[in-house]
Structure 1
Amino acid sequence: MEVWYGAEQVPEELRDPAGPGSVVALGVFDGVHRGHRAVLARLVARANDIAAREPARPRPRAVAVTFDPHPARVHHPGQHLPMVASLADRLSLLATTGLDAVLVVHYTLDFADQSAADFVRTWLEGLLGARAVVVGDDVRFGRGNEGDAHTLEAIGAQDGLEVEIVCDVLAPSGRRWSSTWVRQLLEEGDVAGAAEVLGRPHRLRGTVVHGLKRGREIGFPTANLQAATAGVVPPDGVYAGWLVRSPGSGEEGGPGEERLPSAVSIGTNPTFDDVPERVVEAHVLGRTDLDLYGEVVGIELVERLRPMLAFDSLEPLLERMRQDVAETAAVLGVPVPGPLRPEDVTAA
């Protein structure tokens, strides 16, 4: 999948009347959840349908137009809006949907001030040579969000632009799949519910940094990420999950990806009361040989095991951590590792 950062990187062949043109979807696509994937699947299918219908012309490119930063952050800079996925992770997820390309538009107040018609005719038809547009029925675009699905259909009728509206992209409960829903579930600590909306576990990402090394000293070495830079971090507690290493392309599910079962602690460690800020710590089950410092890793959260607790002494903490490891293994369906002794631990 190609990524174009701005209009200047879009190939000129898309604007050639005899060229492939494109089929376009637009949105932030934060998290690339099930609703997004339903629209993008129709986008790819529509490109294939047009190619089959017009075999003498090159197949149109399936292109998603996304925006960075999130429009809400530009219009309401004081509003707290954590992103479900970073731009890098968003692109990585989009690459798994069968798209040919993604255009990343730098969203500004000037960009937002164009009319709905100008946006369609300048960016979609003019720049991308759009032959068709596929969107969800809740699409909004243009100045003051004046454009919606009906606006798009009206412009399409005037310009000869095919428009497909994907309706009823709903969960079995009847609620619309949405990034807002994912954020709500994560804020409640319901990582399993968030995974249902996303179609996969929620992934945090960050660089492994040096901590206090207490885990290594007590037999539970951890990879530490700063919570402030990891993504949408759920409430303090202990979670079953996976530490994901992506030494290959870096794409989610890409070649070379290594998934390691982990007990994940999020919080400030109230037992010792000497951690000034929230951290995300992942203890990889049964591994003492990992050297992850400086590596960018993902941490996928599968299920919340318990809230963060304070213990009176080290022994009850260790007993609870051993129980956390056993429960993590049960949730993830992996063997329970044998006990680690502090002298066995050489890394993290």
Structure 2
Amino acid sequence: MVHIWNDPTEVPEDFGPTVVTIGNFDGVHRGHQQVLSQLAATARQSNARSVAVTFDPHPAQLHRPESAPELIMGLQDKLDALAATGLDAVLVMKYTLDLAAMTPEEFVGDILVGSLHSAHVVVGHDLRFGAGNAGDVGTMQELGGKLGFTVQVVHEFGAEGFPVHDDGGIDRRCSSTWVREALSEGDVVTAAAVLGRPHSMRGEVVHGAARGRLLGFPTANLSHDATGYVPADGIYAGWLVDEAGTRWPAAISVGSNPTFDGVSRQVEAHVIDRPEEAVEAFDLYGQLIVVEFTARLRGMVAYRGPEALAEQIGLDVVQARKLLLQG
């Protein structure tokens, strides 16, 4: 069981010693996973507990909301992904102006040492922390010497399928920025390579305009408050995971339905070969589902009418079925 704390005061006095890492961990991509894997291994070797400290909301949403990045995943998905790495606990710090004003010394002394009883800290090479991002790896090492913990630095990590050179260098390190760039272009394959898993969104299924049903391809429409980065407009092959955990192959549409002069972007998934003999039992309305994006089939196009659109959707479904079920 992974302990989830929402405030340092929730950490039990006898929890520790700990091995700790700090970060926003948006996406929990392969670079994050390398740090977390090292964290768990070090904790096991030293008979300690492994803890990740993360923040909600993302600091940029407080400091520069007008230019804050769209989050790759919601908080619950982030907690699930962090838990899947084998951590013992996650401390979710509410990011406020008071927290932002803490000096590096205060943050480390009060949180890492005072609350978490840290014996070892694992960080990325580009660590920044404390008021004005004044703290870095050198600061953490200096504070470790004063306060009695050791520091381990984990360096760059590339994405699977991207070049790693003979000298150990890589073309580009894994980052949340790279994932967002890929998704903004609809390149869900590259995003998956950086994430180490398909990109996904989570949201409640709501009623839409029912155009898909009229065209013969009913869809599950995600609510507009669904979490997860919305990839570029287009048609995708992927999976719909219902509340029971069943994975259904799906053709996914992202966009504003230009054939019908739509204006608001919508994410909707058509389950391929759904059990028509049990339509009532298959009702997804009101369910909290996950939609995973595997491949982009095409961009969003305005067709001359419903008949032309239905014909194209049929072709999309055939292509998605082949990709998902036939390799």
TM-score, scaled relative to structure 1: 0.87
Which residue does the alignment assign to 1:211? 208
Which residue does the alignment assign to 1:244? 241
Amino acid at match of 1:40: L
CA RMSD, aligned part only? Answer: 1.4
Counterpart contact for 2:19–2:50, Cα < 8 Å:
yes
Amino acid at match of 2:3: E
- 1: CA distance between counterparts of 2:46 and 2:35? 17
Amino acid at match of 1:160: G
Which stretch of structure 1 is more off in the superposition, 302-311 or 222-231?
222-231
- 2: CA distance between counterparts of 1:246 and 1:96? 19
Which stretch of structure 1 is more off in the superposition, 170-179 or 41-50?
170-179
- Within a 5 Å distance, the mapping from 1:307-318 to structure 2 comes to 307-318=299-310
- 1: CA distance between counterparts of 2:79 and 2:44? 22
Which residue does the alignment assign to 2:269? 282
Q: What residue ranges of structure 2 are gaps of 5+ in the alignment?
A: 164-169
Please state if 1:161 is matched with 2:161: no
SS in 1 for 2:317: helix
Which residue does the alignment assign to 1:134? 122
Offset of residue 192 of structure 1:
0.9
- 1: CA distance between counterparts of 2:197 and 2:322? 19
Which residue does the alignment assign to 1:252? none
Which residue does the alignment assign to 1:342? none
- 1: CA distance between counterparts of 2:68 and 2:40? 34
Offset of residue 81 of structure 1:
1.5
Which residue does the alignment assign to 1:320? 312
- Within a 5 Å distance, the mapping from 1:128-277 to structure 2 comes to 128-171=116-159, 172-173=162-163, 174=170, 175-227=172-224, 229-247=226-244, 257-273=245-261, 275-277=262-264
- Within a 5 Å distance, the mapping from 1:80-119 to structure 2 comes to 80-119=68-107
- 2: CA distance between counterparts of 1:13 and 1:99? 17
Counterpart contact for 2:60–2:68, Cα < 8 Å:
no
- 1: CA distance between counterparts of 2:151 and 2:240? 41
Counterpart contact for 1:227–1:233, Cα < 8 Å:
no
Offset of residue 306 of structure 1:
0.5
- Identical amino acids, percent of aligned pairs: 50
Describe the superposition over 1:93-115 as per-residue Cα deviations: whole angstroms up to 9, x where unpaired. 11100001100000111111111
Offset of residue 166 of structure 1:
0.6
Structure 2 counterpart of 1:34, from 20, 30, 36: 30
- 2: CA distance between counterparts of 1:181 and 1:36? 13
- 1: CA distance between counterparts of 2:177 and 2:7? 27
- 2: CA distance between counterparts of 1:233 and 1:168? 27
- 2: CA distance between counterparts of 1:148 and 1:314? 58
Counterpart contact for 1:226–1:278, Cα < 8 Å:
no
Equivalent pairs, count: 312
Counterpart contact for 2:201–2:290, Cα < 8 Å:
yes
Counterpart contact for 1:201–1:300, Cα < 8 Å:
yes
Offset of residue 218 of structure 1:
2.1
Q: What residue ranges of structure 1 are gaps of 5+ in the alignment?
A: 15-19, 52-59, 248-256, 336-348
Which stretch of structure 1 is more off in the superposition, 67-76 or 167-176?
167-176
- 1: CA distance between counterparts of 2:225 and 2:89? 31
- 1: CA distance between counterparts of 2:64 and 2:306? 46
Counterpart contact for 2:202–2:291, Cα < 8 Å:
yes
Offset of residue 228 of structure 1:
5.3
SS in 1 for 2:286: coil
Counterpart contact for 2:259–2:303, Cα < 8 Å:
yes
Please state if 1:303 is matched with 2:265: no
TM-score, scaled relative to structure 2: 0.92
